[in-house]
Structure 1
Amino acid sequence: MKGFAAAFSVLALYLAWHAPNDGEKVPADELPMSAALAQGASEVATAGASAPLASSTASAAVTPSASVAASEQATAAAAGGSAAGTGGPAGGAGSNADGAAPMGAAMTDLVKRGEYLARAGDCIACHTADKSRPFAGGLPMGTPFGTLYTPNITPDPDTGIGRWTDAEFLRAMQKGIGKGGQHLYPAFPYTEYTRVTERDLLAIRAYLNTLTPVRYTPPRNELAFPFNQRWLMFFWNVFNFREGRFVPDPKQSPQWNRGAYLVEGLAHCEECHTPRNFTQGLSSSDRFSGEVQAGWHAFNITPDKAGGIGNWSEQDIVDYLAKGAVPGRANAAGPMADVVENSTQYLTSDDLRSIAVYLRSVPPVAGGQTRPRDAFGHPADDVSRLRGTRVAGVDGAQLFVANCASCHNWTGQGVGASAPLAYPSLIHNSAVGAPDAGNLAMVILHGVNRRTKDADVMMPGFGDELNDDQVAAITNYVTQHFGDPKATVTAQEVAKLRRQQQ
């Protein structure tokens, strides 16, 4: 132990000396001139803060194409970038073959592309606590070390990012360093955003500049010592962060590379679907194999046929991301419903298919499962047993018939059959057939609220109507009849789930 402590002390002293004495390295795909021009664009915007920051977005529109076009051309092409307004790295925003398009049109295209990319990154989900103040931050995020509150990213000059230069914005997104040089906490997924090209990040910044400034200061973080010491993030980054832009794989198709660029970058899918190590960094050995976040299990999305989504078709994945539901397989709830509502439903079909192609190529992880989650279930007939009998105590069948059967039918097959707005069947349902009944209990507690272009889906939460024993009884009845009978939950576990910060 003494030897280990001495070695760690030497390492810490070396790193502490190395940080201030080593000049900041410029990644190969970022030319010094581009950083200088980007900074100048924001300085002009700050000077004209009373306007809707048109000068900033106009300057940003020409900066990327002028300075980093050569370095990003291969990445953009391999990633399958779409035309302007669809969010591809090779989008036409700010570019003009004839050089004759008016600056207003270039700015509009850039902002439109930035809005699409901000959707892909689901920025609004984390940076909105009050829907009347979009992007103004303040959302509490529970961590094992305390509660973090997301920052205001509207262009307000005092409480938001209105005074940030483009260079500072890029540094935060790609390096995890704030405006004042402080380390950002990795609840902000800069570990994924570091792979995003400078062009796309500047497009997002141009879009954010057009938002209505909101003067709002989020609460201070509630972290105990020593986790409130941001400088310690330097050591966390040494073990868990590798800065660098996405590099296309020449052995793969443009569609695969586009999917990889989105999944590993802006969409930051690993942040929820990959297990974490003891430092809360991502476990590289079990990528996409599932993890629990705020009481919700983000399921295994590797192509394993039993543990993951290997028995899903490519179209199933596209439909799930676009609509939040695939009959006979899954219905998005909890945080994933928010992702569909705020982000993936707005992606183009080409991008969604690229994501599906990439996910179907990652190494499969079974996770100990031998049967797919959506392969369980058979109709129930307990309503006949209950008729005319006196029920004593907490009875799962009685509670199900009283609270759930009006929508899901007392057989569990759902009401409405295959109609577009049918109530989902509990048979062949991945949440019900999961080996952990936690997600099902969370749905009963909190319900489902998912609004898409196709439908508004709402299931009321029963957390205020039913106690922990009753929620546990319904959960266990549903899993035993329609899902994995080995998946059970206790009243104590329901109480713990109920306390999870949402």
Structure 2
Amino acid sequence: MLNHSSRAQPDRPLRPAPRRRFGGAALAAAFSVFSLSIAWHEARGPRAQQSDELPITQAYADDAARTPDDTAAPAGPLANGDLIKRGQYLARAADCAACHTADKSRPFAGGLPISTPFGTIVTPNITPDPDTGIGRWTDADFIRAMHEGIGKSGERLYPAFPYTAYTRVTEQDVLAIRAYLNTLQPIHFTPPANSLKFPFNQRWLMVFWNMFNFTEGRFVPDPQKSAEWNRGAYLVEGLAHCGECHTPRNFMQGLKSDARLSGAVLAGWHAFNITPDKLSGVGAWSDAELRAYLATGAAPGRANAAGPMGEVVANSTQYLTPVDLRSIVVYLRSVPPVSGGDTRSRHDWGAPADDVTGLRGTAVKGVNGAQLFVANCASCHNWSGQGVGASAPGAYPSLIHNSTVGASDPNNLALVILHGVNRTTAHADVMMPAFGGHLDDEQIAALTNYVTRQFGNPQATIGASRVAKLRTLQ
């Protein structure tokens, strides 16, 4: 959900002089056809398509917004209070706060810088402030932005805003989100401008990006599938936009449809494969483990959410109803498994350490990963790496059978050591201090390598230069 580009045509060899006139005419004709196709796309494409909101999707959307004890179907249009409540739920499912809150004292006021290969995009203010936010936007303006990626003044939005996924969200749900945003405290704040290199700062070029990477249209339920599957598809592919982080991108930064949900790297963090592949993905996880991970951020023996995924759990998925969590799992089980080439699952590595006694009384010489571990990590994760508190809520997690430690790419582990973990849910307030402030790059690298060698994938190693680069990423 990041940027735009255009395809350059390869230079053609010079033709003999007698053919030049024909070649010029053919080129002009081709350009005319191409121009007409753009005009047709603009006039007939996105706006001509009709919203297709079949009852099975809408019924499940209504069910997800009600409490488990409320089984009565709504008699008519949602009352204003119910609409706002539903909009708040949907805004959490879409994780709007994550991108539109840079300063927690200014929620939804934007200002968060998003690094892309083409420059930095800064998120806008979406509070109802009339001058710096969306207070003057009409419902039609808001729908157009969500469904077509076009702003109030007709400007093309960059796909750092995931309209490529939000286009699948029903109009009723979009208006519910809008109703909720209207109730927020207006915050007068103008975020900094984007910093994009030419030609990527030319918004009109998004017309070409969209032609190759965007299909406008609402989610259409599959009548051959269950209500749970359809609800899960609606969330994963639309509202929750899971693919925006978990799907690799092409050279234009569009999503690769043939590798959907197979994992990707964003700002140094690896969003892992969530297809049902048993080695590279989550095929070996139980349904209960997947639901627990989304609801709490922890699945003992599998993974503990940190970094961007920790924020997703804290801001979004912990608030989803059991119906929606179950639906997401049902849908993820059905997508095509994609192998990442792994020969062993990420959570199938490690053994308890037994070298602490050998360190007792030894002099500290140079940079020693084991000594750094005992000094900085053992009080919470135990010198054996087995964690403190077993699997109780709020326990310090084991580093054995831990997907972050067992990954073939050590970036996530190094980033966790650098920046720590701060994940608050209804189940636990998880805090791991950041060590980047008092350990240098060489020490972070040595500590990371000790942990992967002892408790995880020993082939996952990192150097000080790479740690230094990770420090600079937003």
TM over 0.5: yes
State the 1:422 CA deviation: 1.5
Q: Tell me the distance in 1 between the aligned counterparts of 2:118 and 2:72.
A: 40
The question of 1:76 aligning with 2:89 is answered no
For residue 216 of structure 2, what is the aligned residue in structure 1? 243
* Structure number with higher relative contact order (C-alpha < 8 Å, ≥ 6 residues apart): 2
State the 1:353 CA deviation: 0.7
Q: Tell me the distance in 2 between the aligned counterparts of 1:429 and 1:183.
A: 42
State the 1:442 CA deviation: 0.3
For residue 35 of structure 2, what is the aligned residue in structure 1? 13
Superposed, 1:27-106 pairs within 5 Å as 27-29=49-51, 71-77=53-59, 79=60, 81-82=62-63, 84-85=65-66, 96-97=75-76, 106=79
Q: Tell me the distance in 2 between the aligned counterparts of 1:16 and 1:255.
A: 38
Superposed, 1:305-316 pairs within 5 Å as 305-316=278-289
Spell out, residue by residue over 1:215-271, the C-alpha distance to the aligned partner (whole angstroms, 9 max, x if none).
Answer: 111111000100000000000000000001101111111101100000001100000
State the 1:381 CA deviation: 1.3
Inter-CA distance 489–219: structure 2 relative to 1 (3 Å threshold): same
State the 1:472 CA deviation: 0.4
Q: 1:278 aligns with which of 251, 258, 268?
A: 251
For residue 463 of structure 1, give the secondary structure of its aligned residue in structure 2. Answer: coil
State the 1:12 CA deviation: 5.1
Amino acid aligned to 1:458: M
Q: Tell me the distance in 2 between the aligned counterparts of 1:248 and 1:474.
A: 49
Q: Tell me the distance in 2 between the aligned counterparts of 1:196 and 1:255.
A: 16
Q: Tell me the distance in 1 between the aligned counterparts of 2:33 and 2:63.
A: 46
For residue 361 of structure 2, what is the aligned residue in structure 1? 388
State the 1:27 CA deviation: 2.2
Checking the alignment, whether the CA contact within 8 Å between 2:54 and 2:221 is kept in structure 1 is: no
Q: 1:182 aligns with which of 144, 155, 166?
A: 155
Q: TM-score, normalised by structure 1?
A: 0.86
Inter-CA distance 85–107: structure 2 relative to 1 (3 Å threshold): farther
Amino acid aligned to 1:75: T
Checking the alignment, whether the CA contact within 8 Å between 2:64 and 2:324 is kept in structure 1 is: no
State the 1:419 CA deviation: 2.6
Amino acid aligned to 1:118: A
Amino acid aligned to 1:360: R
Spell out, residue by residue over 1:25-52, the C-alpha distance to the aligned partner (whole angstroms, 9 max, x if none).
Answer: 432227xxxxxxxxxxxxxxxxxxxxxx
Spell out, residue by residue over 1:422-470, the C-alpha distance to the aligned partner (whole angstroms, 9 max, x if none).
Answer: 1100000000000101100000000000000111100001101101110
Q: Tell me the distance in 2 between the aligned counterparts of 1:465 and 1:172.
A: 44
Mind listing any 5+ residue stretches in structure 1 that lack a counterpart? 31-70, 100-104
Inter-CA distance 319–24: structure 2 relative to 1 (3 Å threshold): closer
For residue 192 of structure 1, what is the aligned residue in structure 2? 165
Q: Tell me the distance in 2 between the aligned counterparts of 1:477 and 1:9.
A: 59
Checking the alignment, whether the CA contact within 8 Å between 2:46 and 2:216 is kept in structure 1 is: no
State the 1:348 CA deviation: 0.2
For residue 331 of structure 1, what is the aligned residue in structure 2? 304
The question of 1:169 aligning with 2:148 is answered no
Matched positions, count: 450
Q: Tell me the distance in 2 between the aligned counterparts of 1:132 and 1:388.
A: 48
Q: Tell me the distance in 2 between the aligned counterparts of 1:320 and 1:23.
A: 40
For residue 462 of structure 1, give the secondary structure of its aligned residue in structure 2. Answer: coil
For residue 411 of structure 1, what is the aligned residue in structure 2? 384
Inter-CA distance 91–27: structure 2 relative to 1 (3 Å threshold): farther
Spell out, residue by residue over 1:177-220, the C-alpha distance to the aligned partner (whole angstroms, 9 max, x if none).
Answer: 00001110000000000000000000000001111111111111
For residue 420 of structure 1, what is the aligned residue in structure 2? 393
The question of 1:346 aligning with 2:335 is answered no
Checking the alignment, whether the CA contact within 8 Å between 2:98 and 2:315 is kept in structure 1 is: yes
Amino acid aligned to 1:243: E
Amino acid aligned to 2:146: M
Checking the alignment, whether the CA contact within 8 Å between 2:65 and 2:89 is kept in structure 1 is: no
Superposed, 1:137-148 pairs within 5 Å as 137-148=110-121
Q: 1:472 aligns with which of 445, 462, 465?
A: 445
Mind listing any 5+ residue stretches in structure 2 that lack a counterpart? 1-9, 14-23
* Stretch deviating more after TM superposition (196-205 or 383-392): 383-392
Amino acid aligned to 1:146: G
Inter-CA distance 204–91: structure 2 relative to 1 (3 Å threshold): farther
Checking the alignment, whether the CA contact within 8 Å between 1:85 and 1:116 is kept in structure 2 is: no
State the 1:22 CA deviation: 4.9
Spell out, residue by residue over 1:259-303, the C-alpha distance to the aligned partner (whole angstroms, 9 max, x if none).
Answer: 000000110000000000000000001000100111100001011
Q: Tell me the distance in 2 between the aligned counterparts of 1:329 and 1:468.
A: 28
Amino acid aligned to 2:85: K
Inter-CA distance 313–135: structure 2 relative to 1 (3 Å threshold): same
Q: Tell me the distance in 2 between the aligned counterparts of 1:24 and 1:472.
A: 49
Q: Tell me the distance in 1 between the aligned counterparts of 2:221 and 2:330.
A: 15
Checking the alignment, whether the CA contact within 8 Å between 1:86 and 1:116 is kept in structure 2 is: no
Amino acid aligned to 2:50: A
Q: Tell me the distance in 2 between the aligned counterparts of 1:15 and 1:372.
A: 47
Checking the alignment, whether the CA contact within 8 Å between 1:81 and 1:91 is kept in structure 2 is: no
Spell out, residue by residue over 1:314-347, the C-alpha distance to the aligned partner (whole angstroms, 9 max, x if none).
Answer: 1111100000001111000000000000000000
RMSD: 2.2
Checking the alignment, whether the CA contact within 8 Å between 2:56 and 2:227 is kept in structure 1 is: no
Amino acid aligned to 1:187: A
Checking the alignment, whether the CA contact within 8 Å between 1:154 and 1:161 is kept in structure 2 is: yes
The question of 1:134 aligning with 2:156 is answered no
